[in-house]
Structure 1
């Protein structure tokens, strides 16, 4: 555990600045990223314990139809979407990102012990809405803290490390839920109780170890000199309303929203996978474990690749992996390796999109509006996924899971083609400087 404190003694005048990392060296990762990664790890253990059992609890335990489950799943995404902009805006006011994130983590922790008390669909919807409201409040301020603590060239790596730590919790959560259900008969209440205690620990870690204002980081390499000439760069937007009209961010938001309309939720994907393969109910909580394992292994490598090859390229590549997963589920082959391949592709999708999208957005948003800018992108994506959950649940109820998934696959392929044209303008991918040949004459 790192105590992420940025208070230090300033260097005396005349002290030379430390050398910037060369092409073969990487700057040390900011303690803020490590501290937030630890908070997310613990919190995700709590969240994924519930996520792993909730679809089975609602569909098999409470007898909800796919349409009813789609409604509740949509409530989770919709409640999160409605408050993301609020969380980002409040975090930007006076640099209160940590305080707003703490409120969000606290609301989610409060919702966990209420789950076993909710005996109706309406009550369950209210509790899930409270949990997702907390997630919506905390996500943009947390991501703003990450992006403000590292230089622009290392955004993909920083988000990759954070998402990898977050996903380590996603690995442990379903495993914990599986062990509890194996020991305790009908142990859903026990799963919810342990989840609540773990969520409270995450809030405590945030309050103790995450700084309120991360120290600004020096760029890993000197910024290139501005080109000579009369041309002037467009001024950066100074208000959230102006930011919404900022063309690079608007393109990123439009692309994320369009692809989100065709992204089937995790819960539905796992239910389709279970029915396609005939997997026994007792193994269902382990399905998120496969996605999380692939996410954990690929988040950092794909984050580094995004820093070098282009973040939008990697982002679209992640959706290509998701499209391949849809194709496998729709195909005639149902061999024993099918679940492994689908979960690998599903994890690769998240590794190539979740943190990479935030790194791409942070690149075009000024620091003073970082939380609100990231929230704009997140809100568009969350609203789109809400619509997709409702539409997919209705299509499953009317035509079955196969035609519903086929429709989502066709829509995703068309959206990906359109998003190739929405590539936001940004700095060219970094390449190492060429090594001079022959003797150097001075």
Structure 2
């Protein structure tokens, strides 16, 4: 496993610690928001706006990272902002302040994502992208197992005392900030003569990007329009009568499967093809959403969230590995940042639309609509997007 370099380990540990902090809060977030007066529709808007903020930041700072040839400063700043957002949530329950805290958290994610993924790509070869991104996702998602477990333990002794939990989540975030100081930049070619770049300059990349990139990203964005926040899945389980403990327990189980499966599925994707694993993941997504639309007990949701963990493992890291293998190395952060920018804007629409569909027609209609759109995206990718080759060229692929 020599392909797991020092930089890959550091980035993976940073993601592990940050996800411990974030995931201590994520499964209790909808419960907390409802307890302070947020409606289901307002929760959807909150999550959507937060994701849109992250998305626009990803595009701009990904482009800026390529433009100035630096990665580490963006990684440090991004993780610092995300850590600071945790105690902010505990200061007051005023809605505008809650929106601000969530926006700071997502802005931090936006600042770091493109640069971090470019660092991971630079440490890998085209033939090892799947396993490198898969290993990072495994470590990242391990934090999503430990974080909710810590939250569950805390809530066992202090039920419904959510605000102290937000303060406790600050500490693993501080450790993550400390680890970012160990990162060192490699020499990167600059894509411009000035450190200035406009906020929306990343949008121009779409017209100059490879055709295969545009085809793939178009399909992924349609999928994202139906892939709303997991908050809705947690709320559906609560709606069916599961306790806070059972809901968080199922979520921990999902993340455990996600963490365990990401690395081996990344290795398998390098061996049999990124496209095959990715499409299989989307099919699992459609099955899960159709299944959750039906009522069931904890065992039913446990089975579905097992499949949901496999879906996440088969798509999250794989999509970025795929993109990095079909775009120029000097544009890696821009390519991933542009995709994730559009993705987050679509997520904003997805969360808002899902919340509205849920409010107007009920949970079943919202979830079945999501499943149907996901299945259509599978057909589109199978027909129009060729499987990626194991290379990364610096020539424009058109």
Q: Distance in 1 between matches of 2:36 and 2:245?
A: 16
Residue 77 of structure 1 is matched in structure 2 by 51
- The answer on 1:131 being equivalent to 2:105 is yes
The answer to whether the Cα contact below 8 Å between 1:105 and 1:203 also exists between their aligned partners in 2 is: yes
1:240 Cα offset (Å): 7.7
**How many residues of Structure 1 are paired with residues of Structure 2 in the alignment?**
378
TM-score by length of 1: 0.81
Alignment partner of 1:32: what SS?
A: helix
The answer to whether the Cα contact below 8 Å between 1:145 and 1:214 also exists between their aligned partners in 2 is: no
Give the one of 158, 165, 168 matched to 1:194. Answer: 168
- The answer on 1:316 being equivalent to 2:316 is no
Structure-2 change in CA distance of 1:316 and 1:42 (3 Å):
same
Residue 34 of structure 1 is matched in structure 2 by 9
Q: Distance in 2 between matches of 1:288 and 1:138?
A: 26
Q: Distance in 2 between matches of 1:171 and 1:163?
A: 12
Residue 343 of structure 1 is matched in structure 2 by 305
- The answer on 1:413 being equivalent to 2:388 is no
Q: Distance in 2 between matches of 1:428 and 1:375?
A: 21
Alignment partner of 1:337: what SS?
A: helix
Residue 400 of structure 1 is matched in structure 2 by 362
Show the 5 A alignment for 1:138-153. 138-153=112-127
- The answer on 1:330 being equivalent to 2:293 is yes
TM-score by length of 2: 0.90
Q: Which runs of 5+ in 1 are unaligned?
A: 1-25, 216-238, 430-442
Q: Distance in 1 between matches of 2:221 and 2:381?
A: 10
Structure-2 change in CA distance of 1:214 and 1:360 (3 Å):
farther
**Greater percentage in helix:** 2
1:158 Cα offset (Å): 0.3
Show the 5 A alignment for 1:11-26. none
Residue 271 of structure 1 is matched in structure 2 by 235
Deviations 1:249-268 (A, max 9, x none): 11221121011111132111
1:280 Cα offset (Å): 1.1
The answer to whether the Cα contact below 8 Å between 1:256 and 1:380 also exists between their aligned partners in 2 is: no
The answer to whether the Cα contact below 8 Å between 1:113 and 1:192 also exists between their aligned partners in 2 is: yes
Q: Distance in 2 between matches of 1:306 and 1:384?
A: 26
1:294 Cα offset (Å): 0.8
Residue 196 of structure 2 is matched in structure 1 by none
The answer to whether the Cα contact below 8 Å between 1:101 and 1:139 also exists between their aligned partners in 2 is: yes
Q: Distance in 2 between matches of 1:213 and 1:424?
A: 32
1:187 Cα offset (Å): 2.2
Alignment partner of 1:365: what SS?
A: coil
Residue 323 of structure 2 is matched in structure 1 by 361
Alignment partner of 1:96: what SS?
A: coil
1:124 Cα offset (Å): 0.8
| Farther off after superposition, 142-151 or 114-123 | 114-123
The answer to whether the Cα contact below 8 Å between 1:91 and 1:99 also exists between their aligned partners in 2 is: no
Q: Distance in 1 between matches of 2:203 and 2:48?
A: 27
Following superposition, which runs of at least 4 residues in structure 1 exceed 6 angstroms of deviation?
A: none
The answer to whether the Cα contact below 8 Å between 2:242 and 2:298 also exists between their aligned partners in 1 is: no
Residue 82 of structure 2 is matched in structure 1 by 108
Show the 5 A alignment for 1:58-73. 58-59=33-34, 61-73=35-47
Computing the radius of gyration over CA atoms, which structure comes out larger, 1 or 2?
A: 1
Residue 258 of structure 2 is matched in structure 1 by 295
Residue 305 of structure 1 is matched in structure 2 by 268
Residue 394 of structure 2 is matched in structure 1 by none
Alignment partner of 1:374: what SS?
A: helix
Give the one of 250, 266, 270 matched to 2:214. Answer: 250
Give the one of 47, 69, 72 matched to 1:95. Answer: 69
Alignment partner of 2:351: what SS?
A: helix
Residue 162 of structure 1 is matched in structure 2 by 136
- The answer on 1:57 being equivalent to 2:32 is yes
Q: Distance in 2 between matches of 1:43 and 1:382?
A: 20
Q: Distance in 1 between matches of 2:298 and 2:27?
A: 22
Structure-2 change in CA distance of 1:336 and 1:240 (3 Å):
closer
Alignment partner of 1:47: what SS?
A: helix
1:330 Cα offset (Å): 2.6
1:281 Cα offset (Å): 2.5
The answer to whether the Cα contact below 8 Å between 2:53 and 2:110 also exists between their aligned partners in 1 is: yes
The answer to whether the Cα contact below 8 Å between 1:40 and 1:202 also exists between their aligned partners in 2 is: yes
1:416 Cα offset (Å): 2.2
Q: Higher RCO, 1 or 2 (CA under 8 Å, sep at least 6)?
A: 2
Structure-2 change in CA distance of 1:74 and 1:336 (3 Å):
closer
1:242 Cα offset (Å): 4.9
| Farther off after superposition, 280-289 or 163-172 | 280-289
Q: Distance in 2 between matches of 1:197 and 1:315?
A: 35
